Amino acid sequence: IECGKCLEAFSVQLVILAIWRQAVNICHAQAASASEPNLSQETVGRRGHITSHYIDILDAPGTTALEGQVACSTIEKDFLLEVGRAEELARELGPVD
């Protein structure tokens, strides 16, 4: 990939990582508030920025704790895959002056 395209791809990948990280944060907040009847305002506010079928799974009526754990585990695995992609792009990009 030419330098300009690689830099652009890396920039996009950083945005993707930020979105996945937010999903991980929401998942952890959801798990922490599982014993509480209402979500914190902070969690509700963060949700407005992410749409994901994983988050829908966490909120679905009748969702079991195990299903929530599976969704969180999947989110974390996907986040780590995106970290790997970012690392590959960073290696391709090399040192930037």
86 within domain boundaries: yes
97 within domain boundaries: no
What's residue 59's pLDDT?
58
Determine the structural domain holding residue 71 and report its residue range: 3-92
Q: Are 38 and 59 in contact (CB under 8 A)?
A: no
| Among candidate residues 92, 89, 85, 78, the one with its CA nearest the CA of residue 24 | 78
What's residue 43's pLDDT?
47
What's residue 84's pLDDT?
96
Q: Which residue positions in the chain have pLDDT lower than 70?
A: 1, 34-65, 96-97
Q: Are 82 and 17 in contact (CB under 8 A)?
A: yes
What's residue 69's pLDDT?
80
Could you please report the per-residue DSSP string of 66-79?
Answer: HHHHHHHHHHHHHH
58 within domain boundaries: yes
- pLDDT tens across 63-90, in order? 666 777 888 899 999 999 999 999 999 9
What's residue 82's pLDDT?
95
Write the CA distances from 11 to 37, 46, 76, 95, integer angstroms. 39, 22, 21, 15
Per the structure, the count of domains in the chain is 1
27 within domain boundaries: yes
